[in-house]
């Protein structure tokens, strides 16, 4: 049987990891990618994605970056982000294959599997023994 305290710290580590990955992806889009968000946005349009997909992806990444780490609405944020990861995995699987070494879909697929795991804590942050549900 898993102790509540150790389970909570495991979920905290998972939220910190996933939230940090969302922050890293946003930083890449806004600061590192040559051409920035405009190039990324036009790349999605050039690949035939509907007009709402870039809006959804940006909103899901901001939600993941801002809300997963502090544990705010983790269940809903995770559920909101899962379709984005499925789409990213499909995008890279079709173009590059499965394996990460070829820029494939391996990482987005794992990320998409880890996101539902964050909903296991029912939105509770780790704050000690007398922690209440948010």
Q: Domains of the chain: which residue ranges?
A: 4-121
Position 88 scores a pLDDT of 85
Q: Where are the alpha helices (DSSP H) in 1-134?
A: 4-27, 36-46, 52-67, 74-96, 106-117
Position 127 scores a pLDDT of 44
- Taking CA atoms, 102 is separated from 2, 34, 93, 95, in Å, by 38, 21, 10, 10
Residue with tokens 């509907």: 50
Contacts of 69 (CB under 8 A, 6+ apart): 15, 16, 19, 20
The pLDDT profile of the chain, 134 residues, written as one tens digit per residue, is 556 667 778 888 899 999 999 999 999 999 999 999 999 999 989 988 899 999 999 999 999 999 999 988 888 999 999 999 888 888 888 877 777 666 777 888 888 888 888 776 654 554 444 444 43
pTM, rounded to two decimals: 0.79
Position 121 scores a pLDDT of 60
């Amino acid at each position: 049987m898993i102790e509540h305290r150790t389970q909570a710290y495991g979920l905290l580590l998972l939220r910190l990891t996933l939230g940090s990955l969302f922050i890293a992806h946003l930083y890449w889009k806004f600061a590192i990618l040559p051409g920035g968000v405009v190039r990324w946005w036009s790349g999605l349009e050039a690949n035939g994605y509907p007009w709402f997909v870039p809006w959804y992806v940006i909103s899901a990444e901001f939600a993941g970056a801002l809300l997963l780490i502090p544990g705010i609405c983790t269940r809903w944020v995770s559920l909101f982000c899962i379709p984005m990861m499925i789409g990213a995995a499909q995008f890279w699987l079709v173009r590059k294959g499965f394996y990460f070494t070829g820029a494939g879909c391996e990482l987005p697929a794992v990320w998409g599997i880890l996101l539902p795991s964050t909903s296991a804590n029912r939105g509770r942050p780790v704050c000690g023994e007398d922690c209440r549900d948010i």
